[in-house]
Structure 1
């Protein structure tokens, strides 16, 4: 795994500063501590940090074609590079290495912008074509690898694998985007293509950008999307056999490495499935890594051990202190943008543990999005059954009033916490789904932001992001629709961002077989009833895995990485919360309503309400602003 950086003059051929390129490249040293390289000529500057995985003795970047006319910097892995190399050799291209980077060079020469159609893998890369005087940026289909870019006022394009790469350039805009702030405080992350700064963007997953010197605007293309095209009818037995075959294949192609390889093993269905497939594909024991917690309600290590024992893995385990909040500023540094998913803390620790044993780790990310495995999928479909039977003209006023009247009872048993459900039933389907995944409500954000911030928002609400994807979705099935929204927002903006930054902080490459695009395409075409059957999510996945995993692993309540935020804010982080949010800090920025911030802190400290999600988002926002030098 690696990091890329670069500058490209869209108007002429200015000479770029080698020291500036070096600074941008070194800002991501952690992504590739093995080697670093740069390429400079009039009008273009490319940088690369390398974590050596395949073809350790060669494959250095930036890499040029034999005639020097094409130069590439690349972050990721192309899993079918050997087959592509043979195809390209048959077409007359000569190879000097046995690495996947060179395949990208000659695929560009052979197929141009359509080269991405031929790649199976995770990637973000930039190709400079001297003859065309062009720069081509591409990102993998699901957004596993990140790519940031900005076009500056002087016609200069800057790009990199992390926002801190661009921040090393003095010309990078540092004006906060109010729309991104609305999205962040709604979702806990900033969905693409926005970033925290106006004028700086993330390249959409499954998209390319083509810049040609002298042309006023780049050409943006979407080269892939999940289709949800239904399969021909088959028996459940046929589908379970096909699922295992396809999963095994997706795992198999990701086990190629010339460095130690292993897998995360949380004890959940998805990571356990990956370990089961790995164990069946190799004769040596699989290296597995698990994180445990010193609080039983957050600990899944017993289930991880069940799988490790069944497949006799080399199992490495570490117990983490549940009060592991000292990482807060470390996370702000690695994530650059505000990021409020508190499971980033244990994810950082499991990557740290894994790197002590392996250089490449497989993960089970993507299983919940593919197979409707989140609780919110069940809740949403239960609510949809009611929404579909009551017209919006009746449902909106009726449940809206009930939701407004019903008290917010965080202290009460779950069966009495009906306020959120009533509010959801009053909304449209898409608005209700946003409500179910949001860390703050529309009402809370209305109160949280200052008058000047509301003026800057000009009425923008984060639901517009969800509506955009819903309007362009290739399906109108209610379950498939929210899965599609998840793939475009939560998976890319939260899950994959979390794992990329946490793993790269430790120079660990993470591969995600359940997000193999062939596998995702096939799963999307399964009937929704094969994903969510009644109240059982991941129905077909679990049925398929019954011969491979214990029932105690397959059929138990989902836990996930929990963090005791509520207790932290009433204990060890109490003073920091006051200093960073209520008594200065964010209260003085002008973006927030000072009195409301103080009210949030006071109500949480007293136990009157649990505002831990909102307070954590505010705390991480403040830490990120400080880290990025924004006041």
Structure 2
């Protein structure tokens, strides 16, 4: 994994602007702590920060074709690069390195932009072709690796993260009322990037920029295909796909590990990894005293720690539990690092800060880790998949299911902003657009039709937000996290499996449970879904109140958005009386405070 950035200008000589490219590239140093490189041509300047994983001495970037006419900057991993290398060698290509980067470059030289269709992996890359004077930006199918761009008067700026684009003086730092709709609505609108005029290259999409303008096209989308396999064959196929995917994703020239929460998803990956690695490293996160004093809530029925220990013993992993306390999690410098890593003030609080600390601890021992992200979206694991009111709601089901994070996200805003923001209308419009993209089979109706819609919403909307979170928190620590459940072959196959099979035993994730139960203890096979943990120590809430009070006492730019009276009421509450929504609101206030201070946005409302 790496960070990429660049600048194309058809009316300037960028050889005179190398200093700006260096500044853009430097913003991505956390994504690539091992090396930096730039290539500057009159019309195109490309920058790269490297996290070395495959072919440590040979994969340096930017990488040029043998004739110097084509330059590639690339972030990600291609898991079928060995097969592609063999095919390309048979077509006359000669390789100087053992890296997957050079395979992508050779693939472009052979197939042009169609190379993306041949790649199995997670990637975002840019190709500057001096012969045609055009730039291609390409993103993987599920959107695991981020890629942003901002069109300029005579070209484009791009980067793995918005901060790389914002480092260029041409970039606008404006945030308007429309920008806030998605920040608060949280529908993961395609292409949204918070900043005015900035966009995200959509998953499965190619953006081409030339002297005459730009255009985009989609090379992959979820297609609806009739599923003809019976249940036994379906379970066996899921098992085969998962086994092959994990085997492919455990190829690296650096230490590797597996994230283990004690749930079905991560435990299944751990079991599959143990079939490849003799003693896999596993890592979990927990909070001081949480196992002894755990209190079930609307999403979490059981604590993770006991299940983690059982799985680690079952597979014989080399396990490390990263145990955090409220003092660590409320360190303002930690929150600032997390907000700076994501460039967006989402207000997820300890769900993000603890993940960042977990990844930092893993990075001290491993460079690559497997994660169970997206299994819930693929196999139907969230509680709202099985909640009648959420299933039948005329909106995104994760917004219809009540929990602390999913509350009135406008509550902390100034009243004049709340009055002008029609969040309900925005969400309704996004929902209509999202469901219109779903294709159905002839004769598909009733529950099957509705569940296809819900599965499609999760795989094209919600999963993208969660993958972005995983990427930002991991890459901010220099850790590469791979996500086997995002293999497009598995996604395509399971998406087209009827809901009656996905739920054949009356449980969530029936197919995944059946395909991997031979690898796991019965306690984990039968465990009810439990999301990522959150700290329950009341001292955490007290620290939030103290920090919000400090923001109130200072001259914070956050109050361009935040209702100071709401913040005062939250601070005045007894800590034991603070509800989940109020706690979440304080997290948002503090994130906004740091975000404004870091990025200095210009508000245009």
Whether the aligned pair in 2 keeps the contact of 1:24 and 1:165 (CA below 8 Å) is: yes
Answer yes or no: is 1:561 the counterpart of 2:537.
no
Give the C-alpha shift of residue 113 in structure 1.
1.7
Q: 1:497 to 1:59 in 2, by over 3 A?
A: same
CA offsets 1:314-346 (integer angstroms, 9 cap, x no match): 112222114422121121121112233331122
Partner of 2:281: 287
Whether the aligned pair in 2 keeps the contact of 1:364 and 1:514 (CA below 8 Å) is: yes
Q: 1:16 to 1:600 in 2, by over 3 A?
A: farther
Q: Pick the aligned partner of 2:362 from 350, 354, 359.
A: 354
Give the C-alpha shift of residue 228 in structure 1.
4.1
Q: Pick the aligned partner of 1:478 from 429, 443, 450.
A: 450
Answer yes or no: is 1:65 the counterpart of 2:65.
yes
Q: Pick the aligned partner of 2:235 from 234, 240, 263.
A: 240
Partner of 2:399: 434
Residues of 1 paired with 2:488 and 2:239: CA distance? 15
The CA RMSD measured in Å over matched residues stands at 2.7
Q: How does 1:571-590 map to 2 (within 5 A)?
A: 571-580=542-551, 585=556, 588-589=559-560
Partner of 2:345: 338
Matched residue pairs, number?
A: 580
Whether the aligned pair in 2 keeps the contact of 1:360 and 1:508 (CA below 8 Å) is: yes
Partner of 2:298: none
Residues of 1 paired with 2:46 and 2:566: CA distance? 47
Partner of 1:509: 480
Give the C-alpha shift of residue 604 in structure 1.
7.8
Answer yes or no: is 1:607 the counterpart of 2:603.
no
Give the C-alpha shift of residue 538 in structure 1.
0.4
Q: 1:577 to 1:435 in 2, by over 3 A?
A: farther
Whether the aligned pair in 2 keeps the contact of 1:347 and 1:498 (CA below 8 Å) is: no
Partner of 1:255: 250
Partner of 1:172, secondary structure, is: coil
Partner of 2:124, secondary structure, is: strand
Q: How does 1:166-181 map to 2 (within 5 A)?
A: 166-181=165-180
Residues of 2 paired with 1:103 and 1:499: CA distance? 26
Q: Pick the aligned partner of 1:527 from 480, 498, 510.
A: 498
Give the C-alpha shift of residue 92 in structure 1.
2.0
Q: 1:40 to 1:447 in 2, by over 3 A?
A: closer
Q: 1:593 to 1:64 in 2, by over 3 A?
A: same
Answer yes or no: is 1:87 the counterpart of 2:87.
yes
Give the C-alpha shift of residue 178 in structure 1.
2.2
CA offsets 1:458-514 (integer angstroms, 9 cap, x no match): 995233223221111234722221222122222112x21221122112211111111
Whether the aligned pair in 2 keeps the contact of 1:207 and 1:220 (CA below 8 Å) is: yes
Bigger shift: residues 545-554 or 511-520: 545-554
Residues of 1 paired with 2:12 and 2:73: CA distance? 22
Bigger shift: residues 333-342 or 42-51: 333-342
Q: 1:21 to 1:193 in 2, by over 3 A?
A: same
Residues of 2 paired with 1:160 and 1:518: CA distance? 28
Partner of 2:34: 34
Residues of 1 paired with 2:585 and 2:483: CA distance? 30
Q: 1:444 to 1:37 in 2, by over 3 A?
A: closer
Q: 1:259 to 1:482 in 2, by over 3 A?
A: same
- Consecutive unaligned residues of structure 1, counting only runs of 5 or more, are 388-427
Partner of 1:277: 272
Q: 1:571 to 1:443 in 2, by over 3 A?
A: closer
Whether the aligned pair in 1 keeps the contact of 2:25 and 2:47 (CA below 8 Å) is: yes
Give the C-alpha shift of residue 448 in structure 1.
3.6
Whether the aligned pair in 2 keeps the contact of 1:53 and 1:259 (CA below 8 Å) is: yes
Q: How does 1:156-235 map to 2 (within 5 A)?
A: 156-187=155-186, 191-213=189-211, 215-216=212-213, 218-234=214-230
Give the C-alpha shift of residue 579 in structure 1.
3.9
Residues of 1 paired with 2:5 and 2:287: CA distance? 38
Give the C-alpha shift of residue 435 in structure 1.
3.2
Partner of 1:170, secondary structure, is: coil
Residues of 1 paired with 2:21 and 2:165: CA distance? 10
Partner of 2:599: 628
Residues of 2 paired with 1:269 and 1:69: CA distance? 49
CA offsets 1:510-567 (integer angstroms, 9 cap, x no match): 1111111111111111111222357621012112222111121122232222324794
TM-score normalised according to structure 1 size? 0.86
Whether the aligned pair in 2 keeps the contact of 1:439 and 1:614 (CA below 8 Å) is: no
Residues of 2 paired with 1:560 and 1:194: CA distance? 26
Whether the aligned pair in 1 keeps the contact of 2:143 and 2:202 (CA below 8 Å) is: yes
Q: How does 1:310-349 map to 2 (within 5 A)?
A: 310-323=314-327, 324-326=329-331, 327-342=334-349, 343-349=351-357
Residues of 2 paired with 1:564 and 1:499: CA distance? 19
Residues of 2 paired with 1:553 and 1:440: CA distance? 26
Give the C-alpha shift of residue 223 in structure 1.
1.1
Q: 1:570 to 1:515 in 2, by over 3 A?
A: closer
Bigger shift: residues 292-301 or 113-122: 292-301
Q: 1:465 to 1:619 in 2, by over 3 A?
A: farther
Partner of 1:146, secondary structure, is: coil
Q: 1:171 to 1:608 in 2, by over 3 A?
A: same
Q: 1:533 to 1:133 in 2, by over 3 A?
A: same
- Consecutive unaligned residues of structure 2, counting only runs of 5 or more, are 295-301
Answer yes or no: is 1:266 the counterpart of 2:274.
no
Partner of 2:517: 546
Give the C-alpha shift of residue 452 in structure 1.
5.3
Bigger shift: residues 238-247 or 35-44: 238-247
Residues of 1 paired with 2:455 and 2:423: CA distance? 29
Partner of 1:230, secondary structure, is: coil
Q: 1:449 to 1:112 in 2, by over 3 A?
A: farther
Q: 1:345 to 1:67 in 2, by over 3 A?
A: same
Partner of 1:155: 154
Give the C-alpha shift of residue 233 in structure 1.
4.0
TM-score normalised according to structure 2 size? 0.89
Residues of 2 paired with 1:142 and 1:552: CA distance? 31
